[in-house]
Structure 1
Amino acid sequence: MKNQKKLQAVLFDVDGTLADTEQDGHRVAFNAAFQQFNLDWNWDIDLYGKLLEITGGKERIRYFMENFVPSELNKNDLTNWIASLHKAKTKYFESLMETGNIPLRPGVARLIQELRQKKIKFAIATTTTMENVTSLLKSTLGEESIDWFDVIGAGDIVPSKKPAPDIYHWVLNQLDLPAQQCIAIEDSENGLKSARAALLPTLITVSGYTHQQRFDEAVAVLSDLGEPSKPLTQIQGVTITQGWVDYEILNNLINH
């Protein structure tokens, strides 16, 4: 029998994974920022789903301009203008978070509390900004929850965003752990590519915008992390033997 690895850390993506923030959070905030800047742009639900193939908010704005409104590209100091627009968007997103209208996905709070009790390390690896991470955690888990995470890798801390593996390499380096003793929890194909390029076993919990993407390299694909009172739905991969994901299930997944 092969030696069993013991799970040392869980690395969480944020948008779509911790909370379904995209459609009713980020998209709404982008549109509010566009209004503030007197732009007649509107990212509807379908368009935003396509734009999500581009990771990073500033990158998404630039891609939209290049492909939908190329006449706007002649602005003076375009990079700084995009950064200012994105900063306004982040403020709107923070305000949305503070209202508490975007809850954590099923099983997230339960799993985090179990990892805390078992003294298992957990971290964040995301392309969203640190401000967005902080707003979400404070509004859902409380003011002190930022300090629960051993490492938070967010935003522009690395040069290349997902699907590049940079953010996961950075977090693993900070944790000082090998990828094989950790697991990533993601919701998107780009997130899966990023985690797998860093050699991390990866569990997918699909979100509204990602359920039709390809997840062939995931150890398992689930509807969500599940709760004892509201079991998860298995989509593909290693069979989950109960209706919710806990430490033992994650430990089992890294040994497949």
Structure 2
Amino acid sequence: MRAEAIIFDVDGTLAETEEIHRLAFNETFTHFGLDWYWNRPLYRQLLDITGGKERIRAFVANHRAPDGPRALEQVAEMHAAKTEIYTQLVAEGAARLRPGVLRLITEAKDKGVRLAIATTTSLPNVEALLQAAFGMPSSSIFEVIGAGDIVAAKKPAPDIYRHVLDELRMPTFACIAIEDSRNGLDSARAAGLPTLVTPSIYTSHQSFPGALAVVPDLDTPPVSLDTIAKWRAADAGW
């Protein structure tokens, strides 16, 4: 059965954006006078925590961060500043869509498949990426965008997917999710969604039990609506 809607994650799924987020965090820490630096191995660990504000709090709690108490009082301001830095970097061309993303989205639009987003990243981050990648507002491409703090419990909780499904007014069996991380997979699966995983540079070490399929990207092999339909037909759980 062909999917009637595709729900995309954003960071690591639509584009390899996590490295841009890491750079934006580090620049923000400098602006706030914090002697913090998140290198790639550390950031890979911190990505187990979804949400930028939550990631800062986890770093303070678990890594004996210098000036931790002061930073906790400024989490909201720091996250807002980081978002400004990130969106500027994206607007300047720092992020590109992953292979096959544009092709699959174009096919879906041409064949009347509805498109949505379910992400823990903030709405300005989503809008900046989609404007830079497509040259048009996000609402012109995606019918529903669930982002940021629109739900209280972030991935791996299923809340953001349930919110998007409610907005689409569609049953889970008619949809498919596309994710790049274990947290995202667990979130989508807990909401009842068959889930395709395309691991990113920061999640390639993770395992993905229960995924409909795991492929390097949407071009390896070329993933189409027919490909997804075949995977769904072959999956005994769906």
Q: Give TM-score scaled by structure 2 length.
A: 0.95
| CA offsets 1:36-87 (integer angstroms, 9 cap, x no match) | 10111000111101100000000000000111235634339x45x1010000
State yes or no: 1:37 paired with 2:32.
yes
State yes or no: 1:225 paired with 2:221.
no
Q: Provide the residue aligned with 1:253 in structure 2.
A: 231
For the residue of structure 2 that corresponds to 1:124, the secondary structure is strand
Tell me how far apart the structure 1 counterparts of residues 52 and 205 of structure 2 sit (CA, whole Å). Answer: 22
Q: What letter is aligned with 1:19?
A: A
Q: Provide the residue aligned with 1:8 in structure 2.
A: 4
User: How far apart are residue 166 of structure 1 and its match?
Assistant: 0.3
Tell me how far apart the structure 1 counterparts of residues 146 and 114 of structure 2 sit (CA, whole Å). Answer: 14
Q: Provide the residue aligned with 1:181 in structure 2.
A: 174
State yes or no: 1:171 paired with 2:164.
yes
Q: Provide the residue aligned with 2:42 in structure 1.
A: 47
For the residue of structure 2 that corresponds to 1:155, the secondary structure is coil
Q: Provide the residue aligned with 1:209 in structure 2.
A: 202
Question: In 1, are the aligned partners of 2:22 and 2:38 still within 8 Å (CA)?
Answer: yes
| CA offsets 1:119-155 (integer angstroms, 9 cap, x no match) | 1101000000000000000001112443221100000
Aligned pairs for 1:45-194 within 5 A:
45-69=40-64, 72-75=67-70, 78=72, 81-194=74-187
Higher relative contact order (CA 8 A, sep 6+): 2
Tell me how far apart the structure 1 counterparts of residues 61 and 29 of structure 2 sit (CA, whole Å). Answer: 16
> Identity over aligned residues, as a percent?
51
Question: In 2, are the aligned partners of 1:164 and 1:197 still within 8 Å (CA)?
Answer: yes
Q: What letter is aligned with 2:187?
A: S
Q: What letter is aligned with 1:53?
A: D
Q: Provide the residue aligned with 1:18 in structure 2.
A: 14
Structure 2, unpaired ranges of 5+: none
Q: What letter is aligned with 2:14?
A: L
For the residue of structure 2 that corresponds to 1:30, the secondary structure is helix
Question: In 2, are the aligned partners of 1:182 and 1:254 still within 8 Å (CA)?
Answer: no
Name the CA shift for 1:10/1:44 in 2 (closer, same or farther; >3 Å).
same
